[in-house]
Chains A and B, each alone.
Chain A
Amino acid sequence: METTTTQARTPSAFAKPASDGGRAVAIVWATALCCFFLLWFAGRPVAAWAFKVPKEWRIPLQRWIGDAMDWLVQDASFGLFSFTELTRFIAAMIDVPYRIALSLLSTGWLEGQGSAAVQQLPPLSWVAVIGLVMLLGRHAGGWRLSLLAGGCFLFILLFGQWDNAMVTLASIVIAVPLGVVGGLLLGLAGYRWPRVESVLTPVLDLMQTVPVFAYLVPILFLFGFGPTAAVVATIIYALPPMTRVAIVALKSVSSEINDLGRMVGCTRRQMTWRVMVPSAMPGLMVGVNQVIMLSLNMVIIASMIGAGGLGFEVLAALRRLDIGTGIEAGLAIVALAIALDRLSQAIADKQRTHDDSGQAGVIARHPYLLTALVVIGVTTLAGIKLEAFRALPESWQLSTGSFWSDVVRWINVNFFDQLEAFKDLLLLNLLIPIKRLLLGLPWAGVVGLIALAGWTLGGLRLALTVGGLALLIALTGQWAKAMITVYLCGISVLIACLIGMPIGIMAAERERLWRVVRVIIDTLQTLPSFVYLMPAVMLFRVGDFTAMIAVVAYAVAPAIRYTVHGLKQVDPQVIEAGRVSGCTPLQLLVKVKLPLAWPEIMLGINQTIMLALSMLVITALVGTRDLGQEVYIALTKADTGRGLVAGLAVACIAMVADRLITASAARLHSRRAGRGPER
């Protein structure tokens, strides 16, 4: 029964407009749009300043930040020690477990350095590593997991990527736990104290969206050139999803469990670690999965700053246009990701079910540990005698050879014209018109509209925030490049969501489909984009279209993942209630599941935008002229200020999009929850 409000309540000048969408808001919008179109079409001769920021208005942020970074790196001091010394100390501390992991897995225990180093003890044999992984799999999840994990590592071994993979694994084994623990602690802090959360959110945005190339040089100065700096950069990139997911997961623990904990008499610490965290575990595991995925995604960049491993293999291979080796190395990264992810999921599941049998002897109580020790001992001894245990003989190694190059060549020769026709169709009719449109808009008008949208959705505070961020982009001289970025990422995110959400909705219902889809999106998130970018350049040439392919391929994964996760999290009782009330499956989906899954899906859209923007620097390597390119140019000119400002502009775009989407989701939510009168 709908009733229309007969009298629109005129809001006071700056208050948040009433959620019933009063006429006043509509009038404001109409006026604003009229002004905007007027400015756009007729304003250029009169107000040229509105189209291109005049030089006098520009903030020399590049110089300020450059100077600030120089100060931080060279002169900042706490009195007793300088900032650089502090960070180098932290790097040295991270280096210790890293060296242990590296010695264990890759180089063996060395005495001396560089080419004069002498190996005292060999590293773990490949048999030992695969054996350990299979034992871990069996312990955590049964034979199936054991075979999967063992199979992944066997794949890496057989395709000759073992040495590189072990170097990479050593970094990951250090970076991921640090990222997970750090992220969880920050998430807990954010959950406990709302103040912390409001401070954390922009910082997390920055960590996720400022391209790593922008702060690469300061990190190298602060942490030294080597794998440790790579670990630090990896943690910075991979930690935010964990924190975000932790906050959402903790908030969505049902209040009954909270009450139960309090009734039973838990202390604060027990509440957190025995009640909240275990209840939030499914969500937290999505976070862990994301940390692993993003860490492996950083492998390429890590290899540029001294970490070596699989990333270097991919780069060198694609540089030679050896697509086969590039794909093999890329798939080795994927195999590593899948093995680690499934193992960690299974271990987390296992923690929640305790099944110790107290009385039996040592052997019976720790069968896996003892078997593991035996395996290590036997293989090390065997390794001293038999070469095959140290490194797989060349003759046993497989290779796809020139298969992939031939496939790409075949597609190239036979289908290039059709592909080009398709690309030109999209480019000339969709992409380029939108690009020209966005570039032609007056910045003043756009900033004004963004601020207005902020006011409509969230009041004065939001208006000032998003308006201020947009203004910052303009005043630092980045507007044109930012518009190109918005165009590129905007279209890509839209396409990614259009593809991803339906697939996610379908996969949430069907377990078998989900298993297949899961492997595909894990692959897409961890396969270095270089691997499919180079064939894409061969087929579609350098340009926006190829860049868009790369961004869509990467960004579709979180869209699917979070949709599935959200839908699966819906309380089965509510679904049951819906079914009992007589809902058709479609009604169940649209009226029950989707609304309840909305927070997770919104998080998915937020993450899709974040990841699309983080692909910018990679797309710059294909040849776009946007903010990613600006960061890259700054890196080559060793101009930290310029790079950081471009990176900040990227972060600003992300934050504006995120705040507006979150605010609109919140309004949708509150409307649905019936806090305002229905229209």
Chain B
Amino acid sequence: MAKVYISSVINAPAGQVWGVVRDFDGLPKWTPFVADSRIEQNQPADKIGCIRNFTLKDGGRIRERLLALSDYDFTVVYSILESPMGVESYIATLKLIPITDGDRCFAEWSAEFDCPPNREQELVAHIGRNVFLAAFQSLKSRFGG
């Protein structure tokens, strides 16, 4: 299984950042690479099992299922159903941890998936840098660094 782990510090209280990232349908609002998004079957975005269907600014389409959501632990877990990346059994976890020293927020995003061995390094680098880190950087600038 390939593994990706990216973490960063965002200069805003965890509760505030959680308000933004908890919206499973909200990727266009806080990531730089998603054009638009909808929840299939008109389900609420915090219903466990709902599926988000979104398009990337470069044209790709992705469908992901919400597996877990915790307002207590500030955690979202989801899996990829379809994507142009060619990954299998892809499960990702986005989690916030409050940093009481300074009332800031630690954000970590991890994923595990299967893929052909010769693509692993490239996929790990792409997901880590162009998806997770890019999204965190977008969040950081939104919240002032």
Report whether chain A binds chain B: no
**A positions within 8 Å CB-CB of B:** none
**B positions within 8 Å CB-CB of A:** none
